[in-house]
Chains A and B, each alone.
Chain A
């Protein structure tokens, strides 16, 4: 199955990489960060296997406590790099952070569906497609959004970044816990509930800028 994951990775990344060469500016940045998200997801799938073995195969504990922290840190790293080296522009950071989260979720979904190939249904694909993708996107976007505030002051940056990662990890942990419990429908709704205000804010922000 491991080999199949790598085959899937190559099949997903190669066409996007070819597309990346043709794109310019903002589009290039978005697709580039989606690719980074996919790469990060591949790395995390290996990391999670190690963590699962380390915690004696207790997948409920690992998915509700450990992987939310590890995944949020690894997902935020490229966004942090962009904020430190290139720009702390709020719009750009939020966009690339969301793209990283979506890229991550895309590949994670493929891996999970592949690992549960006998139980896969269209319903499951729809639920995972919307809820998990949104959850990863919202978590990373929140970190990117917060980073745009704290990057402006060095004294805020380090503590602020850790605090933001903490917030994202908790949110991720709540989602993972809900979707594995009898309240799983609440878990599926949770990302949408947080995505709608983000969209509202983005749309309103653009409107007020254009006015």
Chain B
């Protein structure tokens, strides 16, 4: 069996389980929109992977031309970005000058992702389409990564909610990094790395909703 197909199936199944768990837990009245956005991020990834699985089984290719599977990753990162930027950031960061350094340090995350992309762009012989796709992906990974790192280090003095969601932010950061690694490993055709990345992504997508639930519970009790 094609290792890319196996990796996609693993990620898809784990993501669907994580998404269903999140739906059952968070899609109820008076539940945090933040958690709902994260569940949708997992769902987006699940559907993106399902698309790739179906495409591999029916048409047979997913890398030769642009296809919708990559939108699953982008949509997922957009949901993660929206959750942190739109919901959590204003709770912690009131825009005052004393926190300036906590707004600058997280730029390290996008800088690292961009550095990896530049190495990939200039020092590999991948197809132009893959390089463009990786560039687009880098933009979204960077946006989500910035806020994940920011909320990881930000001194949450007023509410304490961000402190209780640190584990989630670590997982989201690792997820972003895995998205980048996957893009590179697939373009290099490294079978073992493709499988490991797929499994790791699946595991993170599986545990992300319970982690958020635990964080919210810790904050409210």
Contacts and interface: CB of A to CB of B under 8 A. Distances in A.
Interface of A: 60-61, 64-65, 68-69, 146, 149-150, 152-153, 155-156, 159-160, 162-164, 166-167, 169-171, 173-174, 177-178, 180-183, 208
Nearest to B44: A167
A156 B38 CA distance: 13
B79 A169 contact: no
Contacts of A68: 68
Given A149-B36, A170-B75, A159 B82 contact: yes
- 3 tightest CB-CB pairs across the interface, nearest first? A166-B75, A156-B86, A155-B86
A117 B41 CA distance: 42
A177 B51 contact: yes
B37 A69 contact: no
Contacts of A169: 68, 71
Contacts, number: 101
B58 A182 contact: yes
B59 A60 contact: yes
A164 B65 CA distance: 23
* B interface residue count range (under 10 / 10 to 19 / 20 to 34 / 35 or more): 35 or more
Given A155-B90, A177-B54, A178-B58, A163 B67 contact: no
B55 A183 contact: no
Contact of A64 (B55, B85, B87): B55
A149 B82 contact: no
Interface of B: 29, 33, 36-37, 40-41, 43-44, 47-48, 50-51, 54-55, 57-59, 65-69, 71-72, 74-75, 78-79, 81-82, 85-87, 89-90
B143 to A, nearest CB: 8
Contact of A167 (B59, B75, B85): B75
Nearest to B68: A173
Judged by DSSP, the binding face of A is helix
A163 B44 contact: yes
Contacts of B44: 163, 166-167, 170
Contacts of A164: 40
B86 A174 contact: no
A69 B74 CA distance: 14
B150 to A, nearest CB: 14
25 contacts: A64-B67, A65-B65, A68-B68, A69-B68, A69-B71, A149-B36, A150-B82, A153-B87, A155-B86, A155-B90, A156-B87, A159-B79, A160-B79, A160-B82, A162-B78, A163-B40, A164-B40, A170-B75, A171-B47, A173-B68, A174-B47, A177-B54, A177-B55, A177-B59, A180-B58
